[in-house]
């Protein structure tokens, strides 16, 4: 398993890379989004040079609110165009896999099936662009009512080259069981976001601060997965992040097969 951390896009990206590089992470989950790390502002060559300096791996991450599922066709087309720019940046920086998130139209006006239809249209174009760029696309379901197995099945069925990104915190909402989702999509699993919550709010807490049974979950995850795991914990005090990293590695290394 490789452990990573995301840059906070509201902070200066070079300082974020310094912190990640100096604290023993294997890779950065590169959040290229407003305000400090948006595509127009980031010098991709500088980012690549700095990541190389620290020997950090890198995974691309697009803004979670990219409107690929908007009911407005022109917004969807615009989202695909922005994705084209993302892919150029990811290629230059050396990211071979990148996350895109589910994006749903307003639930009071549109059904999940309509939301799937809108996203499928965008994803078809995006997957074509990504294949030409040599970047694997991973779909990260958000923590909304629509992000259930029925919707995920329909989206992943779209293309064998669309992979699954399991955000364990998101999969712990709306009465869902993250272990069930990890097992359902283990054949397509390419990346994991790890954070805790209370089952009702997407809190991005340190490991053990919510209600997820980590010993049980990690035991099952390790039986079929040994890839990248990002600690997507949002805390101003970064001691909590380092503590979670230690806990994760201790638990992971104590699981024997």
Q: Which residues bind Zn ion (CB under 5 A)?
A: 167, 193, 232
Interior CA angle at 224 toward 165 and 252, to 5°? 90
**Smaller CB separation from Zn ion, 48 or 188:** 188
Instruction: Assess contact for 100 and 62: CB atoms under 8 A.
Output: yes
Instruction: Assess contact for 43 and 51: CB atoms under 8 A.
Output: no
**Cβ of residue 193: shortest distance to Zn ion, in angstroms?**
3
**Smaller CB separation from Zn ion, 33 or 232:** 232
**Cβ of residue 257: shortest distance to Zn ion, in angstroms?**
27
**Smaller CB separation from Zn ion, 50 or 99:** 99
CA distance 53 to 72: 43
**Cβ of residue 111: shortest distance to Zn ion, in angstroms?**
25
**Smaller CB separation from Zn ion, 105 or 169:** 169
**Cβ of residue 13: shortest distance to Zn ion, in angstroms?**
19
Half-sphere exposure at residue 154, Cβ-oriented, CA atoms within 13 angstroms = 16
Task: Kindly give, in sequence order, each residue whose CB lies less than 8 Å from that of residue 56, ignoring residues fewer than 6 positions away.
Answer: 17, 20, 21, 25, 26, 27, 28
CA distance 245 to 98: 22
Instruction: Assess contact for 170 and 205: CB atoms under 8 A.
Output: no
Which of 134, 15, 139 is closest to 66 using CA atoms? 139
**Smaller CB separation from Zn ion, 1 or 78:** 1
**Cβ of residue 42: shortest distance to Zn ion, in angstroms?**
20
């Amino acid at each position: 398993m490789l452990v990573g951390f995301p840059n906070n896009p509201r902070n200066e990206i070079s300082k974020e890379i310094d912190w990640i590089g100096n604290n023993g992470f294997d890779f950065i989950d590169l959040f290229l989004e407003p305000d400090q790390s948006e595509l127009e502002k980031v010098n991709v060559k500088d980012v690549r040079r700095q990541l190389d300096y620290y020997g950090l791996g890198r995974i691309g991450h697009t803004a979670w609110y990219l409107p690929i599922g908007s009911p407005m066709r022109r917004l969807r087309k615009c989202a695909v165009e922005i994705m084209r720019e993302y892919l150029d940046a990811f290629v230059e920086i050396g990211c071979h896999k990148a996350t895109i998130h589910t994006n749903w139209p307003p639930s009071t006006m549109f059904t999940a099936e309509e939301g799937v239809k809108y996203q499928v249209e965008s994803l078809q174009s995006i997957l074509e662009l990504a294949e030409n760029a040599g970047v694997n696309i991973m779909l990260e379901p958000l923590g909304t009512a629509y992000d259930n197995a029925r919707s995920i099945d329909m989206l992943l069925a779209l293309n064998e080259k669309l992979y699954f990104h399991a955000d364990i915190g998101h999969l712990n909402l709306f009465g869902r069981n993250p272990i069930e989702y990890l097992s359902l999509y283990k054949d397509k699993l390419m990346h994991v976001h790890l954070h805790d919550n209370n089952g009702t709010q997407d809190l991005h807490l340190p490991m053990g601060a919510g209600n997820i049974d980590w010993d049980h979950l990690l035991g099952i995850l390790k039986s079929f997965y040994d890839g990248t795991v990002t600690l997507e914990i949002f805390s101003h005090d970064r001691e909590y992040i380092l503590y979670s990293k230690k806990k994760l590695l201790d638990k992971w290394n104590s699981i024997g097969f």
